[in-house]
Structure 1
Amino acid sequence: MEHLRVLVVDDETDMAEFVQGALESLQHRAECAGGKDAFCRQYNDSFDVIMLDLFMPDGDGIELLRLLSDWESRAAVVFMSGKDRSILNAAQRVAKDHDLPVLGTLQKPFTVDELDTVMGRYADVIGKSAKVPAFKPSSQDIKHALAEGQFTLFIRPQARTGTNAIVGGETLLRWKHPARGMVGQETFMPVAEECGLSKELIEFAATSAVKHLSVLNRAGRRMRLSVGVTPKCLSGWKMAEMLEPLCRSEGVDPDQLIIDVPEAVLENNLSKYIDMLTRLRIKGFILSISGFGTGRTALHQLVRMPINEIKLDRMVVNGMAKDPEVRAFAKVTVLVARELGIRMVGTGVNDQVTLDALAAMQVELAQGGIVGEPVEAAQYSIDTGSDVGMAG
């Protein structure tokens, strides 16, 4: 096991000394900080792991998470508490929201073996969270790539949970960079949105998706494809007016094109975008909320949204098996969606157990590794079995 440098933050002296001794018996180096003030004095970038007590008189663990995030800490976090386990689970979600790696939680009192198990996850967790220096394209880079036709459309397949038949897909933009190879849209889309080029990229994606649907229609394979949009695409741009004649000219029905709107865009700005969303619905396009479950959208707000579909975020889908609260949230969301006539999609599905769980909950569609990895649109193959039609 790797020998780690650990800062134990706990105002209970006996507990802090026990943890320090246990860590040293496991060949780690440990220091103790008795609260927020001591933590602020002692913390530096040399610590590999921060063990946080969630309840301290001069500052709770969540407050210290914000400090670690502000300091751009690279240390992994372990939570300790003698309170209800649901609080530990909630703290893990907060840490992930702050992009902090988490080794796990320890319910007080815990044993040396339990501590050893958590610390043993360090190499795996840090390896997965390590970030390669990011490629940050300029607006000129993106303009040049558009002019040179370097962007291409990929499709992540979707399947029915009950039959596993491929019935549609989620489109993704990729940049075939001449020096860096294939670059994902998470790298260039934020820059494009900031400099006003996102509309051109989304128009390219939508046009490519509609043309691909047209090819499938002519082959007798009626599918649906989704296209993600950004805030600037929902304001000040006549998206509906662009999409409607495009679909008509290609022989594609509007309800074959799904407009994916991130939950984060809607949770505070629904009134700003409601007119564009409603017009898209009136013209027959399908509206979907993507990344649902990671924001602050309350379930009762779904009544106000003119949507046809909800995509449960991968964190919710993959958290169902381990976290009773996440599982309860997913079940309630599915129940509300069913009552409102909204279709559910599970994302990030990588194993049969999760796929079966979604089917049991009556989540209609799934996407993820077990269904299929994204492929270039030209290589996208469709299941031609009897169950290829999509429900309304």
Structure 2
Amino acid sequence: MHVFENVLIIDDDPILRAISQAYFAALNVKSIYVAGDGRKALQIICDQAGDIDFILCDLNMPELDGVEFLRHLKDHNYRGSVGIVSGEDMSVLEIAGRLAKTYELNIAGMVQKPLRKPDFDELIANAAKCLEEDTASSRRAVTPNELAAAIEADQIVPYYQPKIAVADGRICGVEALARWQHPDTGLVAPDLFIPCAEESGLIGPMTQTMINQTVADAARWTGQKIDIHVAINITPHLLEARTFPDKLASTVHKAGLQPSRFTFEITERTALQSSPLAMEVVARLRLKGFDISIDDFGTGMANLEQLRDFPYSELKIDRSFVQGATDDRFARACLKASAVFARELDMRLVAEGVSNQAEWNMAVEEAVDEVQGFLIARPMPASEFEAWYKSHEGVVPLDSIGQLQDDTGGDADHCSLDAVLRLVAG
């Protein structure tokens, strides 16, 4: 679980500083720095020249409070992760978190005091994800020529993330996610090559190769009695081609499959205009039996106008609302509103990004139909998915959902009292 070498704890309460020190010491963190206010913390950051990996920051402190400190972190171009803690009302924590995100800081989470061991564990797990994402985004961007060659060489391959029905745990579908299997560097992060595909006009050929491989995999699964829905991402740009529905139907029928096996998720990187052509293409896709999903609902371009103008059969809630809804009232309200829309419009409701038991429980409470996320399984190649499906015999028992999570620590909710007392005494 230990992913950091240098940690900074900022809190004006010596007992809470000691508890935090005990936790990080148990993780064998190389260097643990402490400060009683934001001004002293900034001096430590300057002295360490950017070596601090993770900051645990209180909000209500003398001299320089946590909100001011976050602004100074932005000015210092800090690239580590930050966990925000406070005894203040949750609404104060939430606005501090949103403010930090506008500063483009890597926020691991916001937690109310008193902190328990599971709170620390969750912050560290989220911080590790931030570190992975930031590392991926900092790698060299690919060029259109490199991507075109990769498409031609069949290096763009689908990885499948399972979906399960909330009602009974049945493995009901997968989402096909594009991955670049580079012969020299291994898997290339989607955030590096998908924007390149969209900007260079290669999104069409890349999507077509994804469709071809996904349809072939689905046909093979049918022979293995794996009869599930398959979701494929498409961009609004592809809906500008009047022949798109006919080509899709032809590809599916040639494989001996029915269009009803497939859902096309319209992603929201660019706006889906309510033009006559786009409306015609989507309507014809539905007439041919394909399902259409509004992806990442609640963010960016995925909006109420689209729900009104296009015949969607599925509403997919963006992961930012799912993962924030357990402790963010606004995100929870958005999730509830999405559930109402789905029920009133007779749409299937899918929650993506479910990564822990609390988020699963929330999906159950809001009557979500299907769930996908790391709690269930990570995206995997077709062969691994086949083995995973068969090992579960097509069903994930609902009473085992919590056991799918990685075991991140012992049973104790608090750090060792002896360790805390030793630290305070010292």
Counterpart position of 2:200:
195
Match of 1:129 in 2: 130
Counterparts in 2 of 1:141-152, with a 5 A limit?
141-152=146-157
Distance 1:307 1:84, change over 3 A: same
Q: Do residues 256 (structure 1) and 256 (structure 2) align? A: no
Taking a change above 3 Å as real, the CA distance of residues 166 and 284 of structure 1, as seen in their structure-2 partners, is same
Deviations 1:157-198 (A, max 9, x none): 111112111111000122221111122322211111111111
User: Does the 8 A contact of 2:176 with 2:232 survive in 1?
Assistant: yes
For 1:295 and 1:77, locate their aligned partners in 2 and report how far apart those are by CA, in whole Å: 25
Q: Is the 8 A contact 2:8 2:56 kept in 1?
A: no
SS of 2:270's partner is helix
Q: Does 1:28 align with 2:35?
A: yes
Counterpart of 1:269 (choices 273, 277, 292) is: 273
Give the letter for the 2:350 counterpart.
Answer: V
Take 1:120 and 1:68, find their aligned partners in 2: how far apart are those partners? Answer: 25
Contact 2:6 2:51 in 1 (8 A): no
Q: Of the candidates 350, 355, 378, which is equivalent to residue 355 of structure 2?
A: 350
Shift of 1:309: 0.8
1:307 to 304, 312, 330: 312
Matches for 1:77-226 after TM superposition, within 5 Å: 85-86=90-91, 88-93=93-98, 95-96=100-101, 99-102=104-107, 127-130=128-131, 131-132=134-135, 133-226=138-231
Task: Report if aligned partners of 1:52, 1:77 keep a CA contact under 8 Å in 2.
Answer: no
Change (3 A) 1:84 1:237: farther
The TM-score with structure 2 as length reference comes to 0.68
Rounded to whole Å, the distance in 2 between the matches of 1:30 and 1:153 is 49
Change (3 A) 1:210 1:350: same
How far residue 66 of structure 1 moved from its aligned partner, in angstroms, is: 12
Q: Secondary structure at the match of 1:265?
A: coil
The aligned runs of 1:32-47 (5 Å cut-off) are: none
> 1:100-150: per-residue Cα shift (whole Å, max 9, x none)?
22366699xx9xx88xxx999997765543332413221121122222222
Structure 1 unaligned runs (5+)?
Answer: 9-17, 34-41, 55-60
Using the size of structure 1 for normalisation, the TM-score is 0.73
Q: Which residue pairs with 1:37 in the alignment?
A: none
1:276 deviates by 3.0
Query: 3-state SS of the aligned residue for 2:353?
Result: coil
Match of 1:322 in 2: 327
Greater Cα offset, 190-199 or 131-140: 131-140
Q: Deviations over 1:321-350 (max 9, x none)?
A: 222332222122102211100111111122
1:233 equivalent among 223, 233, 238: 238
Structure 2 equivalent of residue 294 of structure 1: 299
**2:140 aligned counterpart, secondary structure:** coil
CA 355–29 in structure 1, closer or farther in 2 if over 3 Å, else same: closer
Q: Are 2:82 and 2:109, in contact at CA under 8 Å, matched by a contact in 1?
A: yes
1:50 touches 1:75 (CA, 8 Å); kept in 2? no
Q: Is the 8 A contact 2:260 2:291 kept in 1?
A: yes
